[in-house]
Amino acid sequence: MSFEAVVLQVLIASPTDVSQDRDHAEAAIHAWNRDRTVGRKVVLLPLRWETGSVPELHAEGPQAVINEQLVGGTDIVIALFHGRFGAGGAGEEIEKARALGAQVHVWFSEAPIPHDADMDELQKVRDFQAILKGRGLLGTYASADDLRAKVRTALEYDVDQLTIAASVIAEESGTPPHSRAVLRLDYRYRTEHDIDKRGKIRTKRRGERLVVENIGTVAAEQVSIRVRPLGQGEAPPLRGSEAPFLIIQPHGEASLPLIMHMGVAQQVLATVSWREGDEAHTEQHTVSLM
């Protein structure tokens, strides 16, 4: 089967101490392509300096080569840090990509710091983390499964944002965008506060639900959802998931209450099915319940 697709370049940037985590991030990209490329007509192309750049002499050094060959055309950046900041290449790539309008996501590993870690390097990481925290750009990951799930969630968001922007540009230029439903899933809840017997404030989540939003241009009909856990734990039961929604209009949404309990997985894989007239569609989304 052949078809036209949009290609989005995803740069994986990090110092050398998280090379294995770079592999996990790339695996998440390949998984997205396997599950979503045909339905979304989008291909995500992972880029790493080890495989995506070619040897070239540059007056400003090797980082300038990477910036020109990889960062300049990047649509999405996934940056990972742990106990080393390196020569600052990853930080430079982040700043340049943001200036060029790329979607940028930065995660810091919560794995234990090695006992022989370079304290100067570790301080650089912490200083950089403090800078990004003020910009709202960072997150953390506790394991390989956690990282893959968070990368997958970020990719879902990025593809939605970048393809919507492309549709707007096409419409303004007089070229009609492809009409279809685009469903996005989100975990939502409200918080309530009370005080326990010791006088401490407790925060509780209430009204937890899985929200299905149609950000496309066509109504989605007969929408149904099935979920299974990713990693440890069970999938939370969905109230009403057996009966499909009649219709979700463009820019509309519907929600299913979640029955949360001890032992529920932190991430789930949701399979969403719907119809657009005579056409049946099925997609998979990774949803974080943290």
- Provide the 3-class DSSP secondary structure of residue 23: helix
Q: What SS3 string covers 59-99? A: CCCHHHHHHHHCHHHCCEEEEEECCCCCCCHHHHHHHHHHH
Q: Are residues 183 and 132 in the same domain?
A: no
Last-in-domain residue among 161, 194, 229: 161
pTM for the full model? 0.61
Cβ 77 vs Cβ 83: under 8 Å: no
Mean pLDDT in residue range 194-202 = 77
Mean pLDDT in residue range 103-124 = 90
Q: Is residue 168 part of a domain?
A: no
Q: What is the distance of C-alpha 131 from the center of its chain?
A: 22
Q: Is residue 89 part of a domain?
A: yes
Q: Are residues 12 and 146 in the same domain?
A: yes
Task: Identify which has the larger pLDDT, 54 or 277.
Answer: 277
Number of helices and strands in the chain (H, E): 6, 12
Q: Are residues 122 and 219 in the same domain?
A: no
pLDDT in tens, 42-64: 999 998 865 444 344 334 444 44
Q: Are residues 234 and 275 in the same domain?
A: yes
Tokens, residue 37: 């490329």
Number of domains present in the structure of the chain: 2
Q: Is residue 10 part of a domain?
A: yes
Q: Are residues 218 and 155 in the same domain?
A: no
- Provide the 3-class DSSP secondary structure of residue 176: coil
Q: Which of the residue ranges 78-82, 93-97, 145-149, 267-271 would you say has the lowest mean pLDDT?
A: 93-97
Q: How many angstroms separate the CA atoms of 10 and 42, rounded? A: 12
pLDDT in tens, 114-166: 888 899 999 999 988 888 877 766 888 888 888 888 898 889 888 888 876 55
Q: Are residues 266 and 136 in the same domain?
A: no
Q: Is residue 74 part of a domain?
A: yes
Task: Identify which has the larger pLDDT, 215 or 155.
Answer: 155
Query: At a CB cut-off of 8 Å and minimum separation 6, what does 149 contact?
Result: 28, 230, 231, 266, 267, 286, 288
Q: Are residues 132 and 225 in the same domain?
A: no
- CATH number of the domain that residue 247 is part of: 2.60.40.10
Q: What is the pLDDT of residue 133?
A: 79
Q: How many angstroms separate the CA atoms of 1 and 37, rounded? A: 12
Q: Are residues 150 and 184 in the same domain?
A: no
Q: How far is CA 152 from CA 28, 246, 267, in A?
A: 6, 28, 11
- CATH number of the domain that residue 140 is part of: 3.40.50.300
Of 182, 177, 174, 97, the closest CA to residue 137 belongs to 97
- Provide the 3-class DSSP secondary structure of residue 136: coil
Task: Identify which has the larger pLDDT, 218 or 199.
Answer: 218
Q: Are residues 150 and 229 in the same domain?
A: no
Count CA atoms closer than 13 A to 141's CA, side-chain side: 28
Q: Is residue 1 part of a domain?
A: no
Q: Which domain holds residue 277?
A: 179-288
Q: Is residue 144 part of a domain?
A: yes
Tokens, residue 19: 């090379």
**Structure-token match 């070239």, residue found:** 56
Diameter of the chain measured on Cα atoms: 68
Q: Are residues 150 and 275 in the same domain?
A: no
Cβ 223 vs Cβ 238: under 8 Å: no
